[in-house]
Amino acid sequence: MKSVPDETQKLAKTSAEDAARFVSKGSAFFKLEREAIPRDFHFLMLPKMTMLAFSAAVEPLRIANQLTGQCLYRWYLLTEEGTPVRCSNGISIVADNAIGPVGRQDTVFICSGVDGYLAASEKTLSWIRLLAQHGRTIGGLCTGAFTLARAGMLAGKRFTLHWENQSAFEECFPELPPTNQLYCRDGALITCGGGNACIDMMVSLIKEQHGEGLATRVLEMCLNSVHRLGDRNQRLSVAAEIGIRHPRLIDILNEMRRSFAEEIDLEAMANRHSLSRRQFERLFHDKLGISPGQKLREIRLNHANSLLAETDMSVLDISVAAGFTSANAFRIAYRKAFGAAPSSRFKMIYPEDRT
């Protein structure tokens, strides 16, 4: 029977095999008190994934290795069949392996982006379920939560995904409310809204494993001055978004965003905020340059656009979900705003004609 190598032998072997690939050279240096066993990350790359989120998740691992001169982390790129994947920006990335077994202490991230709802095949979903059954840590970047939801991973969990895709997610999975956080960790589940928030998420993992000193140096190397905690909101406040600090207008806009899918009586809304209809109209024209009705329509159309891009819902269902009185009213408003019918956008994404 072969003897099991001790930790020192394993570390020496790992260093010899992986230094060339995973430990890059640099002048900045951070000394760790002791050698560490490498932690492995597997990134499942789905078609049209967002490269920014993927890169922002990998680079802190590379920088931690570079700073310490040790192979603290290894990362492997997976696709369902081991073939290259094309990102949403048109760049193709070569995979290391096809999906398969991963180590007990390893972490798997689902990397997704455009068309996240149907990006994963049934074979991939089955693989994710098998990993979960064996207690692996699994996460989602950007729109990865769509795949995790389809695999049955999110029931009773705190999770997040990119704010742009949350409206579509809530329509597809009304029983699974996402948070608006930058990133979330709930047991063996880790999710992130994507973008630069992936840096913050990975730095939090580095801090957990190797301390605040190394985590801070990794942030400095990324030219990030502050480590944002996961519970910070993804989006700016309404006041910051529109560049106006007017408490009553902000309250009205927040109410519109919460209730746009319902039948809204604008005069009743004005009364709730102690305004006459004329004052209500003047407030919007003076501060936003449009009427309350135009703003409400804009909010509804933005929601509809998200559903067109991210789901396979019919135009009729989308019109209802976005708060329009009929599919025809939705089509008229959409064409007026975007110069094209919603079905033409549909056909660009889905080959079938869904009306």
For residue 3, name the pLDDT band (cuts at 50, 70, 90): very low
Q: Of 190, 221, 252, which residue sits at a domain end?
A: 221
- Whether 281 and 196 share a structural domain: no
Q: Of 221, 249, 277, which residue sits at a domain end?
A: 221
- Whether 196 and 257 share a structural domain: no
Instruction: Identify which of 307, 315, 318 has the alpha carbon closest to the alpha carbon of residue 343.
Output: 315
Q: Does residue 124 sit within a domain?
A: yes
Question: Per residue in 124-143, pLDDT tens?
Answer: 999 999 999 999 999 999 99
- Whether 35 and 87 share a structural domain: yes
* CATH number of the structural domain spanning residue 153: 3.40.50.880
- Whether 282 and 190 share a structural domain: no
Range of the domain at 250: 238-349
- Whether 26 and 175 share a structural domain: yes
- Whether 209 and 317 share a structural domain: no
Nearest-angstrom CA–CA distance, 228 and 203 = 10
* pLDDT score for 11: 52
Question: Per residue in 267-276, pLDDT tens?
Answer: 999 999 999 9
- Whether 263 and 338 share a structural domain: yes
Q: Does residue 41 sit within a domain?
A: yes
- Whether 168 and 298 share a structural domain: no
Q: Does residue 227 sit within a domain?
A: no
Enter the tokens of residue 72.
């603290």
Q: Does residue 157 sit within a domain?
A: yes
Question: Per residue in 274-331, pLDDT tens?
Answer: 999 999 999 999 999 999 999 999 999 988 988 888 788 889 999 999 999 999 999 9
Instruction: Tell me the average pLDDT across 182-194.
Output: 97
Query: Per the structure, how many domains does the chain have?
Result: 2
The phi, psi pair for 144, rounded to 5°, reads -60, -25
- Whether 15 and 142 share a structural domain: yes
Higher pLDDT, 25 or 344: 25
Question: Per residue in 85-105, pLDDT tens?
Answer: 999 999 999 999 999 999 999
Q: Of 162, 192, 221, which residue sits at a domain end?
A: 221
Q: Does residue 229 sit within a domain?
A: no
Place of tokens 């604008």: 266
* CATH number of the structural domain spanning residue 247: 1.10.10.60
Q: Does residue 61 sit within a domain?
A: yes
Mean pLDDT rounded to a whole number for the chain: 90
Q: Does residue 107 sit within a domain?
A: yes
The 10 Å Cβ neighbour count of residue 217 is 19
Sign of CA dihedral 47, 51, 52, 56: positive
- Whether 166 and 296 share a structural domain: no
- Whether 301 and 256 share a structural domain: yes
* pLDDT score for 240: 63
- Whether 131 and 243 share a structural domain: no
Q: Does residue 39 sit within a domain?
A: yes
Bridge partners, residue 78, by sequence: 44, 97
Nearest-angstrom CA–CA distance, 259 and 170 = 14
